Amino acid sequence: MGLLFHIGRYFAFMASALRRPQKGRVFAQATAVELEAIGVQSLGIVALLSVFMGAVIAIQTAHQVVGWVPAYTIGFTVRQTMILEFAPTIIPVILSGKVGSNIASQIGTMQVTEQIDALEVMGVRSISHLVLPKLIAAVFIFPFLVIVAMVLGIGAGAWICMAADLSSLADYEYGIQMDFRSFDVTYALIKTCLFALIITSVSAYHGYHTSGGAKEVGRSSTKAVVYSVVIVMVANLVITQLLLT
Amino acid sequence: MIQVRGVDKAFGEKAVLHGIDAKFDAGQVNFIIGRSGSGKSVLTKCIVGLLEVDAGTIQYAGEDFTGLTPKEREGIRLQIGMLFQGGALFDSMTVLENVVFPLRMFSSMGTEERTERAMECLKRVELEGAEHRFPAEISGGMQKRVALARAIVGRPRYLFCDEPNSGLDPQTAIVIDNLIRDLTQEYKTTTVVISHDMNSVIEIGDNIHFLHKGSVAWRGDRKGILDSGVKELDTFVYASDLMRNIKAKLQGR
């Protein structure tokens, strides 16, 4: 089916997803469950990757530029990389593999086992009931994960500088404070919210439109990740151009 | 009562239902039978609104369901309970949570009252003690009974059962059949059962519609089904020796 068909169906899907919840208390409980599933359960992988990336960026910078530029460049580079790209873009891309595939396979399985039909027959608006809590939870919790990633990455950079004697802590601290613009963090958080929306909605869309059996659920899950990543990358280019120039 | 008039449904070029007329009475177990691919499931999905009809009308107690907007349909949907072929239980919820779910969504009952009503339904389908287990931890027959409890928890006026006995052993199938019959009489529901299980039809069928190639080829009661004179129905009914023997036995009496 054509691209235009999918775009049209996606926006119709989103219009249904953003409808007012039928029962506030059920919605609040579902959102709390999603906050735990999307946020708390992703904290470990986000922390692990951020620590290693922060440390690696510090080592790479020291290896390539120290000697002909000041040592505080290490702190500056780690901060800029973590705040501008690694935390707000690469972390959501990684989460699209974990959270996105999980959403697509969960909703896809519900579709092929008639659980969604059961909701509809009961009178439950299935799209809104299943998708809205995930959207709200992701948009709320992704920025939190990204801030954790920024802090841990920059902290890991400081730790490796001291442990591997790449620069003094004072130089590193000077580097991470040098020419700091708070708008960079705002820009990162705006991007993060947009990517959270893209990843959850695209994954839910693919899961919801699954038909067939286990093989198709697997295929929807793969499509969810691939399309989420591609759309996040395109959106990153557009939003960077819009906000930083 | 549910009245179906002149319903057509096609998927692309392929016509699945043509000119279906049917009437399903309250307080009776109404069967839709037919071979695989005859259009039974599509007709049922049209009746409950999971599929839109191309032509014709479906009336619930005289109200035209097909002419209503999705929002307007919600009122009728709240009066529908459905047992799906695979149970369609929410696998992230326990048995009790599954049964309570429709009440949580649509009733003004408090937690205690909801739990009490759900337990009453679980008791009705003989599943007390299983309320804290997950669907994956119980047998197929138990899953069907949980699904039946969930379908009746809101005291529906209309009960749909899609292949309620598929994948069940004969003994469990009889338990499910008896439950469907008893619940229909108890709640005076308009019950529609989609099946190709002749045992169930003979056991509990009050009003039977036989679908052949997307049309109603015969309608009547369980007494008439053995001597319908409709070739396609005879082929369907007497596909097994068992039914031939039953007929011979009945004629010998």
Residue B49 to residue A120, Cβ atoms within 8 A: yes
Residue A23 to residue B104, Cβ atoms within 8 A: yes
Residue B140 φ/ψ, nearest 5 degrees: -60, -40
Q: What is the pLDDT of residue B240?
A: 66
What average pLDDT does the structure give for chain A?
A: 94
* Contact list, A109 vs chain B (CB under 8 Å): 91
* Contact list, B84 vs chain A (CB under 8 Å): 114, 117-118
Q: What is the pLDDT of residue A80?
A: 95
Domain at B26-40+82-252, CATH class: alpha beta
Residue A123 to residue B105, Cβ atoms within 8 A: yes
Average pLDDT over residues A99-124: 95
pLDDT tens digits for range A150-202: 999 999 999 999 999 999 999 999 999 999 999 999 999 999 999 999 999 99
Indicate whether A226 pLDDT > 70: yes
As a whole number of angstroms, the distance between CA B104 and CA B177 comes to: 28
Q: What is the pLDDT of residue A104?
A: 97
User: The tokens 């309970």 sit on which residue?
Assistant: B81
* Contact list, A23 vs chain B (CB under 8 Å): 104-106
DSSP B32: E
- Cβ-based neighbour number of residue B245 at 10 Å: 10
Indicate whether A117 pLDDT > 90: yes
Residue in B85, B91, B102 closest to A122 by CB: B102
Contact B138, B70 (CB under 8 A): no
Structure tokens at B94: 């326990």
Residue A123 to residue B74, Cβ atoms within 8 A: yes
Query: Is B238 part of the contact surface with chain A (CB cutoff 8 Å)?
Result: no
pTM of the model: 0.88
pLDDT tens digits for range A152-161: 999 999 999 9
Q: Residue-wise pLDDT tens for chain B (253 aa)?
A: 999 999 999 998 899 999 999 999 999 999 999 988 889 999 999 999 999 999 999 999 999 999 888 888 888 988 999 999 889 999 999 999 999 999 999 988 999 999 999 999 999 888 889 999 999 999 988 999 999 999 999 999 999 999 998 888 888 888 889 989 998 998 899 999 998 888 889 889 999 999 999 999 999 988 888 877 888 888 888 776 667 777 677 666 5
Residue A124 to residue B105, Cβ atoms within 8 A: yes
Domain extent listing, chain B? 26-40+82-252
Q: What is the pLDDT of residue B253?
A: 56
Residue B48 to residue A22, Cβ atoms within 8 A: no
Average pLDDT over residues A21-39: 94
How close B172 comes to chain A (CA, Å)?
Answer: 22
Residue in B77, B85, B91 closest to A123 by CB: B77
Average pLDDT over residues A203-230: 95
Query: Is B11 part of the contact surface with chain A (CB cutoff 8 Å)?
Result: no
